[in-house]
Amino acid sequence: MRRAYRTDNRDDAYSEPDAKSDENQPAASEWTKRELLAVCQLSAKTFDMFRKAARVKGPSHGGLSHVFSAADVIAIIVKCEGGSFTERGGPPAQAWRKLLADAGVRVPEQIKLRGRRLE
């Protein structure tokens, strides 16, 4: 039977935390599912419906800490503002547009998608 030996470096326990502790934090232009839901008071079920319609990959189950890039959020906004989601998707799309603008991500007012203009 193999034994695993711990090789602790006692000096590390008393040193200041390094950048590794921030690895799980999303970057300034990335947001977790929890943040996106909190901004617009949307249920996870409705958010996943929008996300799947926009063909954006997400967590397999639950996953409130799953990180979405700015491009992912823009794709979800486009889907929310057009098609059959215009009634339900308008307020969340506006909230996410404001979130992106506050982070310094430029989102065009009219997004062209497959030859059509969505406003």
Q: Spell out the domain ranges in the chain.
A: 27-118
Mean pLDDT, rounded, for 79-102:
88
Listed residue (25, 54, 48) closest to 36, CA to CA: 48
pLDDT at 11 over 70: no
Encoding tokens for residue 87? 């009634």
pLDDT digits (tens, 9 = 90+) for 15-74: 444 444 445 545 668 999 999 999 998 899 999 999 999 999 988 777 888 999 999 999
What pLDDT is recorded for position 17? 46
In terms of pLDDT, which residue wins out, 5 or 95?
A: 95
